[in-house]
Amino acid sequence: MAWIQKQIRLPAFRRGFHIVTREVLSEIPELSTIKVGLMHVFIMHTSASLSINENADPDVPVDLEMSFNKIAPESFPYVHTCEGPDDMPAHVKASLLGNSLTIPISEGRLCLGTWQGIYLCEHRNHGGGRRLVVTIQGE
């Protein structure tokens, strides 16, 4: 059984939903050696999150951002406001989407559907670079 773990730094993205599948895969060439296993991706932040969603239609990330802004609007009377009006809504959105993904591996490839991609969900206006921990277990 092989274990591989890497920390990946993603560049700063504007607020919204961004497909980062290529960026993640480019940092883990060892994936091709795994016949069967799991890849776990964890984001080391509380105001950004991870999701798997459609990777083909550019309207999907736009609609996701609009929907989450309705669910957790900046205009809500939050108590935690010391880090700016976008901070607490970012925590709410990150709590709803989650901080990790687990994706099956088969024959050296992620078992993602044809229209699935890994999304970085940036919930801050100026979130900065984001760090991911990628852990692969398999043989």
What are the C-alpha distances in Å from 102 to residues 53, 85, 111? Answer: 14, 31, 10
CA angle 18, 20, 21 (to 5 degrees): 135
pLDDT of residue 37: 99
CA atoms of 98 and 96, how far apart (whole Å): 6
CA atoms of 46 and 68, how far apart (whole Å): 16
pLDDT of residue 67: 99
pLDDT (average), residues 51-69: 98
pLDDT of residue 4: 98
Cβ within 8 Å of residue 68, ≥6 positions away: 93, 96, 121, 123
pLDDT of residue 78: 98
At 138, the pLDDT band (50, 70, 90 cuts) reads very high
pLDDT of residue 90: 99
What are the C-alpha distances in Å from 54 to residues 10, 28, 57? Answer: 20, 22, 7
pTM of the predicted structure, to 2 decimals: 0.96
Complete domains list, the chain, with CATH: 2-138 (2.60.120.460)
Looking at the chain, the whole-number percentage of residues with pLDDT higher than 70 is 100
